[in-house]
Amino acid sequence: MRNEVRPRVTLVGAGPGDPELITLKGVLALNKADVVLYDALIDRALLHHAPDKALKIFVGKRHGSHQNPQDETNRLCVVYAQKYGHVVRLKGGDPFVFGRGAEELDYIQQFGIDTAVVPGISSTVAVPASVGIPVTKRGISESYWVITGTTSSGALSDDLKLACRSKATVVLLMGTKKLKEIVHTYEAQGLTDKPIAIVERGTTREEKVVAGTMEDIVAKATEQQIGAPAIIVIGEVVRESPRLREVYEEVLCEHQLISWSNE
């Protein structure tokens, strides 16, 4: 006689990209999965933590792709939980930081299915840290803003207009296609020399980093062919990275040369 299935869904944050940056609690949840529904940004090495007999199903989507829209993913969480038991919904970063995890929970819980959340290390702090950028530092930045670069309507978030007026570090996700608009927002405040770094595929072997100021970042990003997924970090803390320090030493030398030539 078949054991009665106990449906439950666990949302697990996989971390920023490096498969070693998932939490132990996330690994233990995968160890007990009957089904794993995983996203596009997940390192597939993480699937080895699930039992061999567990179903591993890709439900990811890229920008501009309509494969597996969110409503379908929500439905699959319920269907597979009811049929097989424990579903692990494996999501990049943290499920609740622009991960739509709250929407998934709201839908799943309508069916009386037990749910749990395993927080993940968010790329908003991990990716800057991985290239030596502290999102806060005493005497330089007392806070940081995390903002979506592209809202549900497809526009740049209005919150950036508020954030750029403060001394806070600004971290933007999903903003590479809005880079020119981001730069224009800062230029409108006269902040053309504000430091900015873009980290593509942070913490992974495919990581690419470009840094500069609002004056030159668009040209640099175009030259280096920086694309999504990427984290944009704006603020004086960018200068604090030992890895990027030479960039700003070069900028300082250029400004001095211009100043001397004008004297």
* Catalytically active residues, by annotation: 39, 61, 174
Cβ neighbours of 116 (radius 10 Å)? 14
Distance, CA of 97 to CA of 120 (rounded, Å): 9
Q: How many Å from the N-terminal Cα to the C-terminal Cα in the chain? A: 91
E-only strand ranges, the chain:
8-13, 35-38, 55-58, 86-91, 114-118, 144-148, 169-173, 195-200, 208-213, 230-234
Kindly state the tokens that stand for 224. 């280096």
Q: How long, in residues, is the chain? A: 263
3-state secondary structure of 93: strand
The β-bridge relationship of strands 8-13 and 86-91 is parallel
How far is residue 70's CA from residue 52's CA, in Å, rounded to a whole number?
27
CA separation for the pair 149, 228 (Å, rounded): 12
State how far the Cα of 48 lies from the Cα of 226, in Å rounded to an integer.
30
Kindly give the interhelix angle for 101-109 and 70-84, rounded to the nearest 10 degrees: 50
The residue assigned the tokens 């062919």 is 225
Q: Are 175 and 199 in contact (CB under 8 A)?
A: no
Spatial separation of the C-alpha atoms in residues 131 and 120, rounded to whole Å:
19
Find where tokens 């993480």 sit: 46
